[in-house]
């Protein structure tokens, strides 16, 4: 009898809970979002509201357990799902099931110039995050490539706001279709790692709106990102994580963002500013979110007890708090309380194929004389030289460091593919760079120590090169401090570890030399004229070796195009022509004195005799023309086949151009459209990228591509009026395959 009574009580309890749950609108996923938010908000205590807007562990924030609202779990990074760390420490948690698929870095994704690849990338990494129980993916990054010394450029999408904007949107959509939020970062102007916690950036409003904000705006208004991460640096004297103009005026006021603003870890530094200036969810490392202190210190965060005590003392009201909670609740309902999300998948064959495909499509063939590539079946003796041929690159580099399930090295991929041709592959070290393979407890297990002198290593490489049919030098940068790594900028523009001298020696020893560079940044190439083939291969994750081998042997026709300009010297970059005031700053003050002339916008001034002098936002700007042409232009990329563009035609506001594969094999080409004002009323770049299309063509195949012109393509930002302005007049529409190669031109009149 007692058992029946217990069953009755249990059933009655479940019934009452169900009735009660139905009365809670916030638990009904079919109810309108704002109704759910307001219902949940009305049921929360003051303490619960404070708790929900700051972290409870290194990567999680609490929900409201009393109301059945789960918290949020965040994860680095934009290239793969970070290994688990302990609750309150950065040390590894020691899990054996937290390995991931390492995807190519975002420089590689940008180099594909293919929005389909961006969607595939986002979908795949979102599935991995979902499987691991993560609600917020801390990425992607869309900060503009201003200086090649920025150690974090490999996490971003290049120098052009239009390319970044078009690539970030499908990435976000791919992630969020899994019920996982993208957290686009770092908002904004995080363009250097040197002094990133203290540096104060000043720039013209025009540069802000034309160069540094468009990708973020596209992420919000076109991608619908559910969260945004603030940056560490200051802008106009106020920290980005509680910068009123950025977060309140622009992000919410002008763009209508309804998601949550999440701090970078330790990016909050002032309670009052965080309350009033748009910060929603504070994460960090220690007591103040940045420096070391007592453990379990989350109640001491700026938006924790200090905020609560201000409310209790009557110093501030709860309006701002309620707005923050609304934004966080919206994020929770879209992610951790999203009933439509599936289960995801981890390290699947589909993800491996996606990583391999993205990597192969992002690899850029910069130069190929003779041609040396692809490697033909008659090359039976192949020599591979260079540390980067064997060094694991998924570990290190900062927050994007990964515990990959596997990583195919370039040497392994080349050996596997060469075996199909019956070729022998020999490897010699060539140089010794970074022998450490550890970050936050994740280790590669590699022992890269080598006590030989540079002279001994070079001599071995040169002697072996003389005997080989073809030499593949695989070098570049790595993920060590002061290379491509968070927290550190590069110390030099040259390749490190004596690679320049080694490449020059190899070029003398064997005319069939292909140089393959793994990096997320540009570099000096004093050996360029002596090297017949050059490949930019990025940091390409788990499938690095397979993707590279497919390109080198011609199984995949290279179709990547550069997402940034490569100049001969560091001084050729506009940000490095004004001394320390423009980079890295004087007394932590950095002024963007190159203004809107970043990357190819600056390169296009080559040959101009006089400097540009103009005033913007009350500042005087003097832009001296470049002394040297770029080594490789923005948008440049070669193929193993050839293409020809027809003559552009205009019908209304539609531009049509034909493209034909005139070579002997299938290939892909990137067609780029640039807009150039013929007689601008103010100082403007000579031309700007406004649209692009990647097309695949078989031998002899031709396609007609159309581009729709819109008024937005011709506007510039007027800081005095604080609005986008459209000048009537004649514009030239250039269509080509790089910023330096406008193959066809047609005029268009804006009335």
Other beta carbons within 10 Å of 112: 29
Location of structure tokens 């309620």: 322
Location of structure tokens 């986008």: 724
Residues 122/114, Cβ–Cβ less than 8 Å: no
Kindly give, in sequence order, each residue whose CB lies less than 8 Å from that of residue 611, ignoring residues fewer than 6 positions away: 622, 623, 624, 625
Rg (the chain; Cα; Å): 27
Residues 477/521, Cβ–Cβ less than 8 Å: yes
Q: Given a cut of 70, is residue 286 above it in pLDDT?
A: no
d(Cα 537, Cα 539) in Å, to the nearest integer? 7
Residues 167/120, Cβ–Cβ less than 8 Å: no
Location of structure tokens 């590894």: 92
Report pLDDT for 437: 86
- Kindly write down the DSSP assignment for every residue of 482-521, as one continuous string: TSSBTTB--S-SS-STTHHHHHHHHHHH-SSEEEEEE-SS
- b or e along 227-244 (b: 16 or more beta carbons within 10 Å of the residue's beta carbon)? bbbbbbbbbeebbbbbbe
Residues 531/507, Cβ–Cβ less than 8 Å: yes
Closest among 476, 400, 540 to 111, alpha carbons compared: 540
d(Cα 143, Cα 519) in Å, to the nearest integer? 17
Kindly give, in sequence order, each residue whose CB lies less than 8 Å from that of residue 53, ignoring residues fewer than 6 positions away: 61, 280, 281, 282, 303, 321, 324, 325, 328
Question: Using alpha carbons only, what angle is made at residue 237 by residues 234 and 240, rounded to the nearest 5 degrees?
Answer: 30
Q: What does each C-alpha distance from 306 to 44, 298, 315, 701 come to in angstroms? A: 19, 11, 11, 67
We find that the CATH architecture of domain 32-89+97-334 is: Alpha-Beta Barrel (3.20)
Residues 612/622, Cβ–Cβ less than 8 Å: yes
Question: How does the average pLDDT of the chain come out, rounded?
Answer: 94
* pTM of the shown model: 0.95
Could you state, in order of their start, the residue ranges of all structural domains in the chain? 1-31, 32-89+97-334, 352-552, 570-623, 643-750
d(Cα 685, Cα 323) in Å, to the nearest integer? 41
Cα dihedral angle (403, 404, 409, 412), rounded to 10 degrees?
130
d(Cα 264, Cα 252) in Å, to the nearest integer? 19
- Give the pLDDT band of residue 22 (cuts 50, 70, 90): low
Closest among 222, 249, 214 to 144, alpha carbons compared: 214
Residues 282/58, Cβ–Cβ less than 8 Å: no
d(Cα 694, Cα 115) in Å, to the nearest integer? 9
The bridge status of strand 729-736 relative to strand 643-645 is unpaired
For residue 38, the Cα-to-chain-centroid distance in whole angstroms is: 35
Kindly give, in sequence order, each residue whose CB lies less than 8 Å from that of residue 342, ignoring residues fewer than 6 positions away: 130, 178, 179
Kindly give, in sequence order, each residue whose CB lies less than 8 Å from that of residue 5, ignoring residues fewer than 6 positions away: none
For residue 738, the Cα-to-chain-centroid distance in whole angstroms is: 21
What's the mean pLDDT in 650-671? Answer: 97
What's the mean pLDDT in 539-550? Answer: 98
Q: Given a cut of 90, is residue 607 above it in pLDDT?
A: yes
We find that the CATH architecture of domain 643-750 is: Sandwich (2.60)
Residues 688/717, Cβ–Cβ less than 8 Å: no
Report pLDDT for 531: 98
Share of the chain above pLDDT 70, in %: 96
Helices (H), 44-105: 46-51
Residues 678/731, Cβ–Cβ less than 8 Å: yes
Task: Report pLDDT digits (tens) over 417-446.
Answer: 999 999 999 999 999 999 988 888 888 989
For residue 156, the Cα-to-chain-centroid distance in whole angstroms is: 3
Q: Given a cut of 60, is residue 494 above it in pLDDT?
A: yes
Q: Given a cut of 50, is residue 7 above it in pLDDT?
A: no
The one-character DSSP state at 446 is -
Report pLDDT for 297: 82
Residues 672/634, Cβ–Cβ less than 8 Å: no
Report pLDDT for 292: 62
Task: Report pLDDT digits (tens) over 287-312.
Answer: 555 556 666 689 889 999 999 999 99
Active site residues: 264
Q: Given a cut of 70, is residue 8 above it in pLDDT?
A: no
Helices and strands in the chain: count of H runs, count of E runs:
17, 30
What's the token pair of residue 195?
Answer: 């002094």
Residues 716/210, Cβ–Cβ less than 8 Å: yes
What's the mean pLDDT in 310-323? Answer: 98
Closest among 642, 555, 582, 700 to 199, alpha carbons compared: 582
* Residue 219 backbone dihedrals phi, psi, to 5 degrees: -60, -35
Q: Given a cut of 60, is residue 373 above it in pLDDT?
A: yes
349-362 vs 115-131: helix axis angle to the nearest 10? 150
- Give the pLDDT band of residue 189 (cuts 50, 70, 90): very high
Q: Given a cut of 60, is residue 9 above it in pLDDT?
A: no
Q: What does each C-alpha distance from 29 to 128, 279, 330, 338 come to in angstroms? A: 24, 26, 12, 7
What is the three-class DSSP state of 590?
strand
Q: What is the CATH number of domain 352-552?
A: 3.40.50.1700
């Amino acid at each position: 009898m007692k058992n029946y009574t217990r069953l009755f009580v249990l059933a009655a309890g479940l019934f009452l809970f169900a009735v009660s749950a139905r009365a809670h609108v916030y638990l009904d996923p079919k109810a309108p979002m704002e109704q759910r938010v307001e219902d949940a908000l009305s049921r929360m205590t003051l303490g619960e509201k404070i708790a929900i807007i700051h972290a409870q562990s290194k990567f999680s924030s609490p929900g409201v357990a009393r109301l059945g609202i789960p918290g949020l779990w965040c994860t680095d990074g934009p290239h793969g799902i970070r290994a688990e760390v302990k609750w309150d420490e950065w040390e590894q948690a020691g899990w054996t099931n937290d390995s991931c698929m390492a995807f190519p870095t975002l420089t590689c994704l940008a180099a594909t110039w293919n929005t389909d690849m961006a969607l595939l990338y986002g979908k795949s990494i979102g599935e991995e995050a979902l499987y691991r129980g993560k609600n917020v993916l801390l990425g992607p990054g869309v900060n503009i490539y201003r200086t090649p010394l920025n150690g974090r450029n490999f996490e971003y999408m290049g120098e052009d706001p239009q390319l970044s904007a078009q690539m970030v949107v499908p990435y976000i959509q791919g992630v969020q279709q899994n019920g996982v939020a993208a957290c686009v970062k770092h908002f904004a102007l995080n363009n250097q790692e040197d002094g990133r916690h203290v540096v104060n950036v000043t720039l013209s409003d025009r540069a802000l709106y034309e160069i540094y904000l468009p990708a973020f705006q596209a992420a919000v208004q076109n991608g619908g990102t559910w969260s945004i991460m603030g940056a560490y640096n200051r802008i106009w004297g106020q920290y980005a994580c509680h910068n009123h103009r950025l977060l309140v005026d622009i992000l919410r006021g002008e763009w209508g963002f309804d998601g949550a603003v999440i701090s970078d870890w330790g990016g909050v530094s002032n309670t009052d500013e965080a309350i009033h200036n748009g910060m929603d969810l504070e994460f960090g490392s220690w007591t103040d979110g940045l420096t070391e202190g007592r453990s379990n210190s989350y109640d001491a965060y700026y938006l924790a007890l200090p905020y609560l005590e201000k409310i209790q003392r009557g110093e501030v009201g709860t309006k701002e708090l309620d707005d923050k909670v609304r934004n966080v609740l919206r994020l929770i309902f879209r992610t951790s309380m999203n009933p439509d999300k599936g289960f995801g998948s981890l390290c699947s064959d589909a993800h491996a194929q996606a990583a391999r495909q993205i990597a192969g499509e992002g690899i850029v063939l910069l130069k190929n004389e003779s041609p040396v590539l692809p490697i033909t079946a008659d090359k039976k003796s192949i020599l591979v030289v260079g540390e980067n041929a064997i060094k694991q690159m998924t570990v290190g580099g900062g927050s994007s460091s990964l515990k990959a399930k596997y990583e195919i090295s370039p040497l392994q991929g080349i050996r596997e593919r060469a075996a199909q041709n019956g070729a022998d592959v020999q490897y010699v070290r060539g140089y010794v760079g970074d022998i450490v393979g550890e970050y936050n407890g994740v280790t590669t297990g590699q022992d890269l120590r080598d006590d030989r002198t540079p002279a001994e290593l070079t001599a071995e490489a040169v002697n072996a090169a003389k005997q080989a049919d073809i030499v593949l030098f695989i070098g570049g940068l790595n993920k060590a401090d002061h290379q491509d790594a968070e927290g550190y900028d590069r110390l030099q523009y040259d390749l490190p570890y004596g690679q320049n001298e080694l490449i020059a020696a190899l070029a003398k020893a064997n005319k069939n030399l292909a140089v393959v560079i793994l990096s997320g940044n540009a570099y000096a190439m004093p050996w360029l004229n002596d090297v017949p083939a050059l490949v930019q291969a990025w940091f390409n994750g788990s499938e690095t070796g397979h993707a590279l081998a497919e390109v080198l042997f011609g199984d995949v026709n290279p179709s990547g195009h550069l997402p940034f300009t490569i100049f001969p010297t560091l001084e050729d970059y506009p940000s490095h022509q004004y001394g320390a005031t423009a980079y890295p700053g004087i007394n932590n003050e950095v002024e963007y004195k190159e203004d809107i002339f970043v990357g190819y916008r600056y390169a296009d001034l080559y040959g101009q005799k006089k400097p540009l002098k103009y005033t913007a936002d009350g500042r005087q700007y003097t832009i001296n023309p470049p002394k040297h042409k770029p080594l490789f232009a923005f948008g440049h990329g070669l193929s193993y086949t050839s293409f020809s563009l027809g003559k552009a035609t205009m019908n209304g506001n539609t531009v049509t151009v034909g493209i034909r594969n005139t070579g002997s094999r299938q290939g892909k080409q990137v067609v780029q459209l640039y807009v150039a004002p013929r007689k601008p009323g103010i100082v403007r770049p000579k031309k700007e990228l406004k649209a692009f299309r990647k097309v695949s063509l078989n031998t002899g195949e031709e396609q007609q591509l159309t581009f729709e012109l819109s008024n937005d393509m011709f506007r510039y930002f007027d800081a005095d009026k604080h609005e986008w302005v459209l000048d009537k007049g004649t514009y030239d529409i250039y269509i080509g395959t790089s910023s330096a190669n406008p193959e066809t031109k047609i005029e268009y009149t804006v009335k």
